[in-house]
Structures are given as structure tokens and as C-alpha cells.
């Protein structure tokens, strides 16, 4: 559906209605940009599950949507949205907030690279982080990024139970580091997909 930013603005008016009970919103591949994200910001506290995958949000759109006090979103899908390091930094800030309830974050097919993963790893170390699932398929991550993830999970066994890093440029050292987490009885990681 080619909803576009203008359609999102119209939709946001209805979503902001206090009688609106919508908890799940899926706007995949709707030609939304940062302008549409700014319009959605006023309605974000109503959703538990939001999917904006396949839109050209970029870092600016992600930052605009996340700016200020966060919301009730437990599941956030931003796959193939043009997110890089700056967007990851905004997400990490939310993950560290004591008001966040974010449990699942899907960032597949974004150019996060090691720098983005490193900043997300700082959030995983934070005691307020409640994330249980992190999907980073095909994000340009190498052993360096995986080392940061492994270090974060080893230093502060978080709530993270599911980690998916399929489709990245991982070598044997990354596999060893992440596999070693299974030997740590305090670590809650149950599932991870490396290949």
C-alpha cells in the first residue's frame, strides 16, 4: 500500500483519538519517510506492536519517532529502513531508559555495521534494558561487532533470550565467543542463529 507521509498524517489523527484501542500497527512498505515518523510520534504511546519495515525512514526518522519520553511499544520492527549508527544510538538510548518496555527489536537488512552493534551492546549491558529478542540479520556485522555483543551479554546477563545474526560476515572467533555464552549458567540466551 502506498500510504505515504500524507496518509500517515491522516491516519495519525484517528489513532490519537482517546477511544482508539488499536494495539498493533503494521505499516510495511508504505513509502513512509521521516515526515511520516514525526506524525506517528504523537500516537506512539497507544501501540504495543509496531512494524515500519521496508520504509525509507533513515536515522532521522528513527530519531524523530523515538525523541522524548518513550512509550508502551514492546515489539518494534525496523527491517530494511536505512538505519545506521545514528539510529542505533537513538535506539540504545531508549533501551537504557527506565520507562522502556521494549522486548523485541528487529533490525534486519540495515547497514548497522560494527559501530551500530557496539552502541546497541552498551544498552544490553544496562540494568534497565528489558530486551528479550534482537534480530540483526544481514547488517554488515563482523567478528568485531559480535565480540561487543558477547562481551555485553557476558558482563551483564540481561533478559536477552534470542539473538539472530544470520547473514553477516562472521568468522570462527565470533562463533566461539557467542557459543561460549551457553556455558555461562547466569546467561539467559536460549536461541541464537549465526548462519
Separation between Cα atoms, residue 103 and residue 173, nearest integer Å: 28
Separation between Cα atoms, residue 132 and residue 17, nearest integer Å: 31
Q: Angle 85-96/58-66 helices, nearest 10 degrees? A: 20
According to CATH, the topology of domain 1-82 is 3.80.10
Return the pLDDT at 31.
96
CB distance 110 to 78 below 8 Å? yes
pTM of the model: 0.93
Q: Which of 20-29, 31-40, 82-91, 174-183 has the highest mean predicted lDDT (pLDDT)? A: 82-91
Report whether pLDDT(189) > 90: no
| Radius of gyration for the alpha carbons in the chain, expressed in angstroms and rounded | 17
3-state secondary structure of 70: coil
Q: What is the per-residue pLDDT across 107-127, written as a single tens digit (0 to 9) for each?
A: 999 999 999 999 999 999 998
Mean pLDDT of 78-107: 94
For residue 8, the 8-state DSSP code is H
Set of cell numbers at residue 153: 551479554
For residue 62, the 8-state DSSP code is H
Mean pLDDT of 40-60: 88
Amino acid at each position: 500500500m502506498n500510504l505515504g507521509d500524507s496518509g500517515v498524517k491522516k491516519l495519525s489523527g484517528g489513532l490519537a483519538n482517546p477511544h482508539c484501542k488499536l494495539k498493533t500497527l503494521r505499516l510495511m512498505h508504505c513509502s513512509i519517510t521521516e515526515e511520516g515518523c514525526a506524525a506517528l510520534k504523537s500516537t506512539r504511546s497507544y501501540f504495543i506492536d509496531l512494524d515500519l519495515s521496508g520504509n525509507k525512514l533513515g536515522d532521522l526518522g528513527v530519531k524523530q519517532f523515538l525523541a522524548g519520553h518513550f512509550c508502551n511499544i514492546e515489539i518494534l520492527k525496523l527491517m530494511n529502513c536505512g538505519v545506521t549508527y545514528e539510529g542505533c544510538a537513538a535506539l540504545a538510548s531508549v533501551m537504557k531508559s527506565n520507562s522502556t518496555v521494549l522486548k523485541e527489536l528487529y533490525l534486519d537488512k540495515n547497514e548497522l555495521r560494527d559501530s551500530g552493534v557496539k552502541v546497541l551492546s552498551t544498552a544490553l549491558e544496562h540494568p534497565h534494558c528489558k530486551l528479550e529478542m534482537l534480530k540483526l540479520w544481514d547488517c554488515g556485522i563482523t567478528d568485531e561487532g559480535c565480540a561487543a555483543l558477547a562481551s555485553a551479554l557476558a558482563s551483564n546477563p540481561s533478559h536477552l533470550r534470542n539473538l539472530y545474526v544470520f547473514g553477516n560476515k562472521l568468522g570462527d572467533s565470533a562463533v566461539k565467543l557467542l557459543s561460549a555464552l551457553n556455558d555461562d549458567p547466569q546467561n539467559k540466551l536460549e536461541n541464537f542463529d549465526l548462519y
